[in-house]
Amino acid sequence: MVKTASVIVLMILLIDLARAHAQEPPRADAPLGEAGPTSVRPVPIQTSPDFVPIPDRWRLGFPDWNRYERPIKDAPFERGRWWDPYHQNVLKGDYPIFGQKYFLAVSGISDTLFELRRIPLPSNVSAAQAGRDEFFGPGDQIFVNQNFIISVEFFKGDTAFRPRDWELRVTPVFNLNYLEARNTGVVDIDVRQGTTRLDDQISFQELFVEYHLGDLSPNYDFVSSRLGIQGFTSDFRGFIFSDNNLGGRIFGNLGSNRNQFNVVYFNPLEKDTNSGLNKIFDLRGQQIGIVNFFRQDFIWPGYTLMFNVHYLHDAGDKHFDENGFLVRPAAVGTLSRKEVDAFWLGWNGDGHIGPVNLTHSYYHVSGHERRNPINGLTQDIQADMAALELSVDLDWLRPRASFFWASGDRKPGDKIARGFDMILDNPNFAGGGFSYWVRQGLPLTNTGLELKGRNSLVPSLRASKIEGQANFVNPGLFLFNVGTDIDVTPKLKMFLNANFLRFHHTEVLERLLFQPNIRENIGIDWSIGARWRPFLIENVVVTAGAAALQAGGGLRDVYTEQTFRFGANGLEKTKNSFPYDTLYSAFLSLTLTY
């Protein structure tokens, strides 16, 4: 009897619970991704069957749905989390943070670099190891660089169908770098600082306001402006100027986006020596102006034509770098202040003509260089540069061939500077950062100059690429490249390159080093690189590369020095030959992106 009563009571409770659940209003479906809380004020309840009030048109609910009712979930309508950038996310600009048109996009990057390299360096006045009296010291180095980057974009606009009305972007960078050398006088001009250096820097690589000035056609051709610290690359491969710095920019498009244009002015900040980042509130004393114009599908579909003009005025204010070395004026020759006024006129193209991929570039630079340190004269600049890359796509292979020429100065003692130089280049050409020649900076012994700067193509003989001044009395360069890009798997891509390098003219090196008959052959640069995305996404990228520069006769001549010492027979002359058959570079980097 008791059991029967218990069963009846349990059944009544279950029926009552089911009835109550059936009478509950249906729960509102949640929006997709991570929508965040709505900031739209509530509206009055619906009073007409003809209109349904939707207070927040962005955060519409979607039901849970397993498309094929399989045990393995196949759900198009996914919910997200704040740390998930691959579904809709209020932190990635997919939902407004307030109102209907105000959005926030946050990105975070950790970029870690570990690099081994060998660079020819002379022994200093005080060697790191007692008893060493060789002219060339150990050139092996270890370099570690860590950047933590946060980028915050706050903007108004519809995000997809028209340009943003305005945008505020802030990108601080926190840098930590470490250098370990095997000789003194490398990490600092003061040999007492030893052979290691640990440095840090905080900077802004982006800090600008963008404003939409207006639309130029019903197809949303537009013109906008930016003011502040911003990034800009002036051509397809970064031959002349590629940097993040302080300036203003007006840009836009015409003809349903077939034509694009940029008008740019930079008043650059000084660079930190060891990190390469901007030094806030420290102006450089340069004035840079750039205008470029693009035309898409010019003659051939898929081919883009570009013309550009660059202007540089460099006042040449006196400057020592962070490690105590004089970089302006260059510590050679007259040691007097140098001013540069130069114009670059450029013709560039990029794209494909039928099955052939094509990139080409030609520049002519003219102007004046007052009191060049190598010859002490005012120079009339007349120099040229040309580059060409051809490639074809064969399934998973892209074989290519490249050529680069920068004119050199054959008569360094006259008043015409024929050596080509850039403003601040970062070339993606002939192997780019995988190549030893492009990646590494090579000092010129006993001159206070660099034969070439880091991440540069041209042997410009500056005191520093990022802090020194352009120099148009230089040997110039011929580069011949063959290589291939290999899509090994969807996750792994490899890059193989071989570069044959030679100086255009070596007379300026002979004058500078007091050494006759310097040959033109620099050597052969072999490199291999790999880019691996282990999860098939851009959030985790591992990049590795190795390169070797087999020294040719010209490079050996440049690094052959004569020294004098007192011996048993009085003053004796010693010829110090280049000690390395091969210069090497190897690196591994890990980039994590949110």
Convert the pLDDT of each residue in 30-63 to its tens digit: 787 777 777 666 666 666 777 767 777 788 777 7
Q: Kindly provide the b/e burial profile for residues 128-162, where b requires at least 16 CB atoms within 10 angstroms of the residue's own CB.
A: beeeeeebbbbbebebebbbbbebbbbbbbeeeee
- Of 51, 56, 57, the C-alpha closest to 41 is 56
pLDDT of amino acid 572: 55
* 270 contacts 279 by C-beta, under 8 angstroms: yes
**Cα(373)–Cα(212) distance, integer angstroms:** 46
3-state secondary structure of 257: coil
Q: Which domains does the chain have, with CATH numbers?
A: 27-100 (no CATH), 102-593 (2.40.160.100)
To the nearest 10°, report the CA torsion of 294, 296, 300, 301.
160
Angle at 105 between CA 104 and CA 109, to 5 degrees: 145
To the nearest 10°, report the CA torsion of 531, 536, 539, 543.
-10
Residues in CB range of 522: below 8 A, 6 or more apart: 437, 501, 502, 503, 551, 552, 554, 555
Q: Which residues pair with 541 in a beta bridge?
A: 591
- Of 374, 382, 377, the C-alpha closest to 417 is 382
**Cα(491)–Cα(542) distance, integer angstroms:** 10
* 333 contacts 339 by C-beta, under 8 angstroms: no
* 39 contacts 97 by C-beta, under 8 angstroms: yes
Residues in CB range of 120: below 8 A, 6 or more apart: 136, 139, 442, 443, 445, 559, 578, 579, 580, 583
Phi, psi (5° rounding) for residue 6? -65, -40
- Of 398, 457, 82, the C-alpha closest to 240 is 457
- Fill in the amino acid letter for 480: F
Six-digit token string for 183: 């000789």
Q: Kindly provide the b/e burial profile for residues 211-228, where b requires at least 16 CB atoms within 10 angstroms of the residue's own CB.
A: ebeeeeeeeebbbbbbbb
The reported pTM is 0.87
* 230 contacts 244 by C-beta, under 8 angstroms: yes
Six-digit token string for 44: 């009055």
Largest CA distance in the chain: 128
Residues in CB range of 75: below 8 A, 6 or more apart: 64, 65, 66, 67
The DSSP line for 82-150 is: TT-TTS-BTTBTSS-SBTTTEEEEEEEEEEEEEEEEE--EE--SS-SSTT---SEE--EEEEEEEEEEE
To the nearest 10°, report the CA torsion of 212, 245, 455, 153.
-50
DSSP for residue 414: S
* 372 contacts 366 by C-beta, under 8 angstroms: no
**Cα(158)–Cα(178) distance, integer angstroms:** 44
- Of 405, 234, 407, the C-alpha closest to 310 is 234
Angle at 396 between CA 393 and CA 402, to 5 degrees: 45
Which residue positions in the chain have pLDDT lower than 70?
Answer: 1-28, 39-47, 52, 66-67, 69-75, 123-137, 159, 561-577
